[in-house]
Structure 1
Amino acid sequence: MQLGWIDFSKEDRQKALDVINLLSEQGAVDELGIGIIRDAFANYFFPGTSTIQTRAKYFLIVPYVLREAVDGRYGKDANRVLRAIDSAEKDCGIRLLEADPKAEGVIGTRVLPKGWVARKPSDIYWNGIRTFGIFCDYGLSIPEYVSLAVKLKEQKSVSRLGNRNDDAEENDKDDSDAGDIGNIRFWNLPIYHDDWRDNLTIELTQEEAFYLDKQIQKSTKGSLLEYVLKNRIDLNEYDYFASLTAELSEKVGEKLAYMMKLACDFNNLVYMARVRYNVMLSEDENIYANDEWSRLLPDIRHNATVDLDAVFGELQLINPRAKSFLCGIQAAFMASDIDMADELIRKRERSLKGAARAKLSRTKEFDHSKWVGGGMLDYRFSNARRIVNDIYAGEVSADV
């Protein structure tokens, strides 16, 4: 099946890509509609991250490209500048693969050099770049930034016509070096050279790594991500968010420990629902799902114990339908009423997708040996681990 949309604007197109991404992140569709809660927890623990970020280097490649693009080299037309940004990002991808054809996490690996991706690095990393304070104005989209920067650059040039003094050229250079245009500060970046593209690799330089470490800690106070970086926690020692929680629960602050436990409790409830979903979808033929349910069943009441009022309250979420479903399935599990739990799961999927698209209404169409709909919630732990590992590796590198 092919998807299409009328391309009214770049932002409309991006919104459509966002929707598609929600249905495909890490290959798991959110069959039961708990993604909004999962993402809220993930934003609390690992702000600025996403499931489709690959390597930490892009937190700097993208700003280098965006800052450079509005220095006047591509003219005054914002649309032309945006096209140039797209080309520059693709060129960076090609350079990264030329430096190391086996490099992990290079965006566009499967299609470069001839093709390019629909969702560019700047689209993927923009929220994180703003969250970490690398870009200094949280309210702007990339097209808005380009449009504003181009206009400011033009106004500044016009204001100096007929009034140029000996220091004007040097002042222009100072503004460019600072990442400012006029009195507006757009960027907060480490010092880097104009030839940054030469010998570009996916690894952070030592200076970049120290900068990113400090910048993330500064901008994510109280988060698990800040704690990990501040205390040099080796995330490779932990396979799951739950194992990290077990290790750090008595070391982190009281509020963070409470939220981590709340997230694990929520995870336990949702995972039981996902297991039941797969048991039903496979008509009891999925061996792994059946084994998992047999393992969970003796502790069903314990695994269903989570303060759902606290979940929605602490995360400041208002979603009556999701909360009603979760409260209902929690009550069913607490009463060991599996038939009721299964019926609630069926109704939930139908309410989200409609009867025609609900998988549980057409179980014969699916491979009963395959797991569907995700497993234990990760809360972007694995994605954050990749970013943190890149920072640690860069800090001990000899490349300054």
Structure 2
Amino acid sequence: MRDIIRLFSDRESRDELGLGQIRDALSDALFPGTSTLLTRARYLLFVPWAYQKAAGRPNPSADADRAERDVIHALKASGDYAGLLGMQAGEALKNLPSLIYWSMLRHYRILADESLSRADVLRFDGMPTGAADLGAAAPARFSAWSSELPPAPEGFPKTIPDGFRLSTDEAGWLRDRILNEAPGTLFAHFAIEQPSRESFAPWADPAIHGLGGDATQVLSDARAFSALMHGAQLIYNLLLAEEYEDAGYDRVTEPTSRFREQVADWGAELPSLVDLNTWNLDGMLARVELVRGTPIHFKTRAFVRDWFSLVQQSNPAALAGHEAARSFMERREREHKGAQARIGNRARLASWGGSSGAGALVYRWPQARGILLDIHDGLQRENGVVDA
């Protein structure tokens, strides 16, 4: 459970100002089927393999559970710990990889039928579908998984000598899943062009060279929205920092001066990140609603538009002392969080850790990049690049 709490506490998982609807839609457009809980690409194979092992047994649910927990021990034994779900909790892990990865397994048709639940797979996988055809030795059997799924390595799930390292065939198959099921997206582009291990955001990665089509517009919108709303996130944290210090708390060292400096830096850099006079905010919101399939909440839409206007009509670098901006952010927190708002709530300020969703939006980039790098590392194994 500690592993899951840690993942949910990631700065991009937090939604202090109610931007989640827009953030998640842009994330889905850039990296379809992903989430902030993903860690390693080979889980997309571990889960099907575990379920294949359990299917058809007297108690498939318990056997699948056991297989997923065996994977934890096998990965620990392999010495490959990065991204291991259950590294701390071990046998006590509550949310197994199948729960976390099921949506991605559906999206990329690793599951043969995306409507299948985990219970459906355990119930129907391997079940005879009817009488045997003439000349056939046995009746056909239902397969819950893609017929092209790479086979599990010998000894799985008790032993996984390669840990999270994909074989060349496994990596190629997963890359093809992305290219087939998410064509024209940034995810597909990076499946071909290897991203950097150090880039802090997708638009900052050298591999975006040559990106075209709709993905270019989505990435441009995502960068502009991140740049615009980062100022709101910083002002919000500045208000928290001031109240925190005024209340006499000192566990966090000098947060007010830190956030004042960050607001000034953001304001100075903003013009190089987005031209507020030419960027079509309403066009971006319309595209977000197409991705969502439902309208953005009217209060969220109003908040984003009003912040856009406030920044456009002000000197962004001086917003730390802008009374209208400060009052605007206080109202937004009360509107979004109600009784859970921190501003003006001494009891909640006491537990403030020095940052509440203050990081710029990067749209699941650390998670998506990790999946992509696993795939590229696997593709390179045939050349001995990562076999050392």
Normalising by the residue count of structure 1, what TM-score does the alignment of the two structures yield? 0.79
In structure 2, the residue matched to 1:15 is none
In structure 1, the residue matched to 2:35 is 50
One-letter amino acid of the structure 2 residue matched with residue 134 of structure 1 = I
Q: State the distance in 1 between where 2:223 and 2:330 align.
A: 24
Normalising by the residue count of structure 2, what TM-score does the alignment of the two structures yield? 0.81
Does the 8 Å contact 1:25/1:52 carry over to 2?
A: no
Does the 8 Å contact 2:194/2:372 carry over to 1?
A: no
Q: State the distance in 1 between where 2:169 and 2:268 align.
A: 52
Aligned in 2, Cα 1:374/1:145: closer, same or farther, shift over 3 Å? farther
In structure 1, the residue matched to 2:287 is 314
In structure 1, the residue matched to 2:25 is 40
In structure 2, the residue matched to 1:335 is 313
Q: State the distance in 2 between where 1:315 and 1:241 align.
A: 18
Name the count of aligned residue pairs.
355
Q: State the distance in 1 between where 2:100 and 2:216 align.
A: 29
2:123 is equivalent to residue 139 of structure 1: no
In structure 2, the residue matched to 1:129 is 105
Q: State the distance in 2 between where 1:239 and 1:121 align.
A: 26
How far residue 197 of structure 1 moved from its aligned partner, in angstroms, is: 3.1
Summarize the alignment of residues 157-306 of structure 1 with structure 2, pairs less than 5 Å apart.
Answer: 167-169=136-138, 175=141, 180-181=142-143, 188-192=148-152, 195-197=155-157, 199-200=159-160, 201-230=163-192, 232-236=193-197, 238-244=199-205, 247=206, 251-283=210-242, 285-298=255-268, 305=276, 306=279
Does the 8 Å contact 1:278/1:289 carry over to 2?
A: yes
Specify the SS of the correspondent of 1:90.
Answer: helix
Specify the SS of the correspondent of 1:361.
Answer: coil
Structure 1 alignment gaps of length 5 or more: 3-17
Instruction: Tell me which moved more, 290-299 or 22-31.
Output: 22-31
Q: State the distance in 1 between where 2:227 and 2:96 align.
A: 35
Residues 98-125 of structure 1: CA distance to partner in whole angstroms, max 9, x if unpaired?
121x52111100022xx32221100111
In structure 2, the residue matched to 1:14 is none
Aligned in 2, Cα 1:372/1:84: closer, same or farther, shift over 3 Å? same
Q: State the distance in 2 between where 1:65 and 1:368 align.
A: 41
One-letter amino acid of the structure 2 residue matched with residue 234 of structure 1 = P
Q: State the distance in 2 between where 1:194 and 1:346 align.
A: 58
Aligned in 2, Cα 1:250/1:168: closer, same or farther, shift over 3 Å? closer
2:69 is equivalent to residue 90 of structure 1: yes
Q: State the distance in 1 between where 2:14 and 2:108 align.
A: 29
Q: State the distance in 2 between where 1:342 and 1:23 align.
A: 28
Q: State the distance in 2 between where 1:21 and 1:348 align.
A: 27
Q: State the distance in 2 between where 1:260 and 1:271 align.
A: 16
Aligned in 2, Cα 1:233/1:393: closer, same or farther, shift over 3 Å? closer
Q: Percent identity?
A: 25
Q: State the distance in 2 between where 1:310 and 1:395 align.
A: 38
In structure 2, the residue matched to 1:374 is 358
Residues 330-385 of structure 1: CA distance to partner in whole angstroms, max 9, x if unpaired?
1122222732222222222212221x310112257247771221311111111111
Does the 8 Å contact 1:280/1:360 carry over to 2?
A: yes
How far residue 203 of structure 1 moved from its aligned partner, in angstroms, is: 1.3
2:302 is equivalent to residue 324 of structure 1: yes
Does the 8 Å contact 2:40/2:374 carry over to 1?
A: yes
How far residue 240 of structure 1 moved from its aligned partner, in angstroms, is: 2.1
In structure 1, the residue matched to 2:246 is none
Does the 8 Å contact 2:202/2:362 carry over to 1?
A: yes
One-letter amino acid of the structure 1 residue matched with residue 62 of structure 2 = R
How far residue 138 of structure 1 moved from its aligned partner, in angstroms, is: 1.4
In structure 2, the residue matched to 1:10 is none
How far residue 280 of structure 1 moved from its aligned partner, in angstroms, is: 0.6
Specify the SS of the correspondent of 1:283.
Answer: helix
How far residue 299 of structure 1 moved from its aligned partner, in angstroms, is: 6.0
Aligned in 2, Cα 1:286/1:309: closer, same or farther, shift over 3 Å? same
Aligned in 2, Cα 1:127/1:374: closer, same or farther, shift over 3 Å? farther
Q: State the distance in 1 between where 2:115 and 2:201 align.
A: 34
One-letter amino acid of the structure 2 residue matched with residue 84 of structure 1 = D
